[in-house]
Each structure stands twice: as C-alpha cells, then as structure tokens.
Structure 1
Amino acid sequence: MSVSVFDRLPDGREVHLVELGAAPGPVLRLLTLGATVHDLEVTGGDGTRRHVALGHATSADYLASGDYVGATVGRYANRVRDGHLPLAGVEHRLGTHDRGHHLHGGPDGFDRRLWTLLDEDGATARLRLVSPDGDQGYPGELTAEVTFAVDADAVRIDLAATTDATTVVNLTQHVYLNLDGRDAGTVDGHLLQVPAASYTPVDAEGIPLGAHAAVEGTPFDLRRPTRIGSAVRRAHPQVLDARGLDHNLVLDSPWDDDGLRTACVLTSPATRTALTLRCDQPGLQVYTGNFLDGTRGSVDGGLYRQGDGVALEPQLFPDSPHHPEWPSARLEPGERYTARHEWRFSAVR
C-alpha cells in the first residue's frame, strides 16, 4: 500500500505516511503532518541507494522541533519584521516567535497542521490545508494545496493557494538534504552552485537591511561550485551573525521553455550524486542547518547537529511586505498563487 498510518497526534488523529515512486528512481515518503517530506531515497552516482532527506522518527519529534524539518511552510516562508504586516491600508499583527519576528508562518504555522490527503496514485499525491481568517494574524481564509509528483529521476512540487480576502502568501518546501545520506554527518564537503550575482544582507536577527548587495568577494558568491564548508567558515560578519549561511540569493539564471530556471546545483563528490533544483521563484534561501543543535533525534536514532543538512528554499524575498520594490506576496480573491519546484537527480563522473 502507498498510504499507511504513521502514528497518531496527542488528540488521537491519525498521521498518514504516503509513499511515491519506485527504485531505482526516487522514492518519496510524505507525512500528512505538515505536508512533510519525511524521507527521500535515491540511487547515487556510485550506484548505492541512500536516504538523502533528514527526518524525525515520530510526529511528536516533528512537533517538538523548531527546525521545520521537511515541512511545507507558510503562510509566509521566511521572516516578517516584528510580525508587522501592512496590507491594503490595514496594519495586521502576526504571531512572533523568532527573536520578536514572524518566521515561516508563525508559532503555529502550516508545518504543525494536519493536511488532508485529497488523492494519490503511487506517483503523485495532493494535499490540502484550509487556514481560517485570522490564523496567526493573517487576513482571509486561505486554501493551500501542494502536489508532489515523482518520476524516474525527479521530484516535482506544485504549491497553490486561493483566498477569500486580500492577504499575503509565500509557500516553500523546507527539506534538509544530505546527498551522502541522512546519517552521514555534515554537508561541508558538498559543492553548491547558485546562479545569483546578488544577495540580501540581513541584520543579526535575519531581517533584511535594505537593498540587495553584490556577492562578489563574499561567501555568497556561489556562481561557481563552492565547497559549503569553505563558505560557512569565512570570517564575514553576515556569516558570523547567522552561524553559517541563512540568506536569500537573488536568482538571475535564464528561464527555460517550461517556465522554470535553475536555482542551484548541489553535488556530493563522495557519492558522485548531483541534485539540480529548478523553480519559478525570484529567490533561493540557502540555510546550512546552523541551528541543528543535537537536541532532536533522527529517523536512525542519532542526533542532528549543525551542518548535517542544507535547506534550499525557493521563495519570494524575506520581509517583502516592507519592501514594495520587491516581488509582491499579495494575493487577492479570484487570483491563484502558484509556485513550482523540481529536484532532479543525476550521476557525476
């Protein structure tokens, strides 16, 4: 069966596990809690099957974690300064929990909700969540959907949302990847390439300082394949404040005929495996697992520590409600928000 009971929430509701795909291609295992990527198994370039997505062992572990491991996050991925949302002439107050700011949808975001599995066929699965008016301070009832689809060498994620009142929406997938395996230790030896000539500097609390800045001469210059361990150990104030990379890179790669473009290429020389991430979003948040602190357990019984995975999150820019010059997160009744991500795996010689 491709759907089974994973476990139960404290109130007795069942959390379901959905399995998509088949070896030798990717096998994706999802949880209805948080529309979470619980497990992703792929064949490496060296021919070995590995689990390359970090995951927790139980729903209780996911709920206790503040790391958004594998979750579909929203309503607004990334940060909103002071939880202050100016929208259509009204000042809304969003829930805050990250140093006084709103992060990834608030203290009770979409990552903590039980999504409804609408349909699945062994290769695709569609999940829905209805977020009521006023949820975490957001105006409007928002209906969000995410569809996961798996084929011979790729996973595609389609995000969508509609609203009955003016609101904002910025959804993304927060999987942590380690192409050496989810229990292999740090991703320091991975190579990361991001086609972005500029990035978004932030203050010590992760809030954008203002305009984007050139990556030239900084640890954020990932235009050539760069060892992650080298980038996170640079003596740069932005890296020191964040304890690694936790920054938006402004994508400038060309668009392909299908409306997507390359956001990054992540490569493991050790397993000769590459992941090409394509998307239709303007930014890519690169987060090197800086606050994985050994307090939360892995599926395999270990403890996740700093740098054990990298999250590559296509999205709108952080705190865009305070930057009208940036792409807007505003969604009106009658409109449909959409975003698409694609993870394509290949062998490296």
Structure 2
Amino acid sequence: MPEDLLRNGGVYRMKQVQISEFEPTSSGQMAHFYRIENASGASVTLCDYGASIVSLLVPDRQKLLRDVVLGYAHVKGYETGGEYFGETVGRCCNRICHGRFVLNGQEIQLNCNDGKHHLHGGYRSLSRRIWQAECGGNSVAFTTESPDGEEHYPGNLQVTVTYTFDNTNTLTIAYEAVCDKDTICNLTNHSYFNLDGHQSGTLAHHMLKLFADSYIPIDQTSIPSGEIAPVAGTPFDFRAYKPIPAAFQEDCVQIQNAAGLDHSFAVPSDSPIQAEAYSTESGIRLTCKTTQPAIHVYTANFVETPADLGKDGCAYGKRGAFCLETQNFPDAINHPNFPSPILRANTPYRQETQFHFSLKGEA
C-alpha cells in the first residue's frame, strides 16, 4: 500500500486530488492534470482540456497496474487530434446528417466538420477548450459554457461533467447541462480502451458482451437509415461473450460501411449493466452501466497516431482499442422513432455512466 496514504482512525482512505501542469495550449493557456488515486493504488488522471480521461491505471491478474486507455503525449493532440482520445464531446455527439435539423419549426444548419455531416459538436466541440475544474474528495467537476450560436446551436448551454473514482475501481461520469433556449444535447466520453494496456495495439485477447437485442444500421457515411435492426444472425450479436475481432466479417455490408464496428446498440435501462468486456491475457474485466439508451461501439477503425503524438511514445493503429460511448441514438433529431435529443429551455439534462474494473471471475 502506498506510504503517503492518509490514515484516519486506522482506516485508509482516498488521497486528495493531485494537480500538476500539463502543457500550454496554442493560445497560451496552461492545461492541467488531475489525478485521483484510491487505496489500492489504482488511479485515473484527468485533464481540464476537453474534460478528458488521459490515464486509467487498474490491476491485472498479477496485481500489476496497467494503463487501459489511449491518450496523447502532448496537449497539441487534444487540440487537433481527430481521434478524440478520452475527451468529452458535444453539444451533440456522433453524427447529424448534413448538419441539419428542424427545431420548433425552424431549420438549423450546423457546421459540417466530417465531410458533409456534423460530428461530435463540430469544429468548436466541447472537447476543444479548457474547462474550469473544482476538486472535492475523490471527484473532479469540470464546467464550461457553450455560447448561443456556437457551431450554430441555439442557446447558452452550461455543462458540468463530474468524474468520481472510488475504492472499488469504479469510475463514475455524471453529466449535467442546462440551456436558456430549446436546443439539442447528447454528451459522451470518447475513451478508447485496451484491457491489455494502451500500448498493446491489438484486440486479439478481448471478449465483449452487450445486453442489446438491436443495433442501428448505417450507410457508407455512418448516417443511420432510421431502422432499429435485430442483432440476431448478424456480426453485431454480442448477447453472449465473443471475441471482438469475430465481428470483423469483411463480407458484411455494415462492417464494410464502417471498416469495422462503429455502430450504436440499443440497451435496456432496467439491466444491472449494459456491457462488459474482459481480456483473456490480462484478466482485466470492464463493466459499463449507463442511463443512456445506447452504447456506441467503435473499434478504432481509422486511428493512425504516430509515436510522437501517442502517450508514452506509443504509435496507435487501426483496431487497437475499443470505445463504449454511452449516448443517445445517432442523428436522433432527424428520426422521430429514436429517443428525442431535444433539451427544453431551463430543463436539466442529467445522464450517468459507470465503468467498473475488476478481474474476470470477481464481482
């Protein structure tokens, strides 16, 4: 057990949040790290640039700590990288077809930053700024404001994302937002996981289970047709554990469209958990519980991060990690059969996701 843990009445408790400087941004603002370590030595390191997860150290079956999330070595990566490693994305994550939708009878045209579509909140995503941080106990709350008209979204949107890391190796992400006008809001975290360690470069040892009977098919530009399709008989059937690479059936049109998995799965709100994964090599198990109606699974199909940008000098490549992006359905504003992403004026937005780390066979 680390020597500098605080001791209270014979019981070891969480350390205070440790704050350190990262690097200045291109505008000269200093970005900071916020590290939360629990009693076992497991830890999460966050950054105020993009309210991001930059490191997540959890024990493997040999009781060795492994960093299981990909990240950038320099703040420049968080400013310009198209992978969104660990970042909070929004106002509306995922894609909006042609960046266009109708709200209260008015057509709104957002900036299109992904070809002819709008992705993850546009050029000025919530991930592209320094957030204000407030620390307390084993939590860090990041707050920012997106002004009326930013990326052409209506209303002044205030957002708070609170990360809490506890002694059970559970990372809780609580999202809160409020806007002074009717708008749309769909927030997620874009962490890339590799349970063998971020430097592993392969998903060969990864097993995945999703509590999802249906998924959202997409076209060649990753826009949903509006169909909610059954997973049965498709590469998207993860209702029982199977290797992630087993889904890469190159003769499947949906896999071709995304060059791998880049699809949303409809998950039940009444399930104790909505997804779980583990590595047969490290033994590390990850479970995901969320209040959101979907988990978007992405297998890093277009990641090409050179070693000078990757964390610890690591080069990251295609299908070397996976994302479990808890969110609403993609392009939901343009599909009335999808859950509505509309956030009414002065109405609180609240969602929560928990990532729990253990060893396969443990609770």
Residue in 1 that maps onto 2:284 = 273
Aligned residue pairs: how many?
Answer: 343
Q: Return the alpha-carbon distance in structure 2 between the equivalents of residues 75 and 253 of structure 1.
A: 23
Confirm or deny: 8 A CA contact 1:26 1:155 kept in the other structure.
no
The alignment status of 1:263 with 2:274, answered yes or no, reads yes
Would you say the 8 A contact 2:306–2:314 is kept in 1?
A: no
- Equivalent pair of 2:218/2:257 in contact (CA under 8 Å): no
Distance 1:315 1:115 in 2: 21
Tell me how far apart the structure 1 counterparts of residues 217 and 90 of structure 2 sit (CA, whole Å). 22
After superposing the two structures, state which structure 1 stretch, 241-250 or 60-69, moved more.
60-69
Give, as a single letter, the amino acid of the residue that structure 2 aligns with 1:319.
D
| Partner SS for 1:267 | strand
Alpha carbons of structure 1 residues 342 and 131: separation in structure 2 relative to 1, 3 Å: same
Contact 2:269/2:292 (8 A) holds in 1? no
User: How far off is 1:295 after superposition?
Assistant: 4.1
Q: Could you tell me how far apart the structure 2 residues matched to 1:202 and 1:157 are? A: 28
Q: Give the counterpart of 1:232 among 248, 260, 270.
A: 248
Match of 1:305 in 2: 317
- SS across alignment from 1:344: strand
**Larger mean Cα displacement after TM superposition, 15-24 or 148-157:** 15-24
How far off its partner does 1:141 sit? Answer: 0.3
Q: Which sections of structure 1, spanning at least 5 residues, go unmatched?
A: 256-260
Q: Name 1:292's counterpart in structure 2.
A: 303
Q: Tell me if 1:144 matches 2:134.
A: no
- Partner residue of 2:351 out of 339, 344, 347: 339
SS of the equivalent of 2:102 reads strand
Cα gap change, 1:158 to 1:72, in 2 (>3 Å) = same
User: In the TM superposition, what whole-angstrom CA distance separates every residue of 1:208-235 from its partner, at most 9, and x where no partner exists?
Assistant: 0122111111111000111011112452
Q: CA deviation at 1:21?
A: 2.3
Structure 2 letter corresponding to 1:267: Y
* In structure 1, C-alpha distance between the alignment counterparts of 2:213 and 2:343, rounded to whole Å: 29
Stretches of structure 2 that go unaligned for 5 or more consecutive residues are 1-16
The two structures, once aligned, show a CA RMSD in angstroms of 1.3
Aligned to 1:258: none
Contact 1:53 1:176 in 2 (8 A): yes
- Give distance in 2, aligned partners of 1:312 and 1:52: 13
1:113 to partner: Cα distance: 1.1
Residue in 2 that maps onto 1:111: 127
Superposed structure 1 runs of 4+ greater than 6 Å apart: none
Q: How does 1:176-215 map to 2 (within 5 A)?
A: 176-215=192-231
Following superposition, the deviation at residue 23 of structure 1 comes to 5.2
Shift of 1:37: 0.3
* Correspondence for 1:121 among 136, 143, 161: 136
Q: How far apart, in 2, do the equivalents of 1:237 and 1:325 lie?
A: 23
Report the AA paired with residue 322 of structure 2: V
TM-score (norm 2): 0.92
Question: Which residue number corresponds to residue 10 of structure 2?
Answer: none
**2:108 pairs with 1:92:** yes
SS at match of 2:274: strand
